[in-house]
């Protein structure tokens, strides 16, 4: 599996990035051409929150890419140097839950 990224920035320099996966390895200029073609098709009318997401969805539909979205996220783990800084994070219906274990002595 090979991975590709599309970045988008707005006027406030706040950027968005989406990830795509594909079983085939495309040369960078080939991928660029696919993105430009999708951008031209979608510019001015798309339902997604951003142009980058719309392009990723279009490439999934037309070119066999896998658009890596939050809906496909199965598990998220935050890691740190201590056990307390390492925990499971899950997302359900726009809410995030954090699972922690604590010793009863800790209060």
Instruction: Round to whole Å and give the CA distance between 93 and 82.
Output: 29
Instruction: Round to whole Å and give the CA distance between 6 and 16.
Output: 8
Q: What is the pLDDT along the chain (107 residues), one digit of tens a residue?
A: 999 999 987 665 556 789 999 999 999 999 999 999 999 999 889 998 889 999 999 999 999 999 998 888 888 888 999 988 898 886 665 554 444 455 555 55
What structural domains and CATH numbers belong to the chain?
2-70 (3.30.70.2710), 73-106 (no CATH)
Global pTM reads 0.72
Count of other CB atoms within 10 angstroms of residue 39: 16
Asked if 20 contacts 65 with a C-beta cutoff of 8 angstroms, the reply is yes
């Amino acid at each position: 599996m090979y991975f590709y990224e599309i970045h988008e920035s707005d006027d406030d320099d706040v950027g968005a990035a989406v990830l795509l996966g594909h079983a085939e390895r495309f040369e960078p200029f080939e991928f660029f051409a696919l993105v430009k073609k999708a951008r031209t098709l979608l510019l001015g009318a798309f339902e997604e929150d951003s142009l980058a997401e719309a392009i990723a969805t279009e490439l999934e539909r037309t070119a066999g890419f896998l658009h890596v979205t939050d809906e496909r996220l199965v598990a998220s783990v935050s890691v740190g140097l201590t056990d307390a800084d390492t925990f499971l994070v899950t997302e359900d219906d726009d809410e995030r839950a954090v699972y922690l274990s604590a010793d009863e002595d800790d209060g």
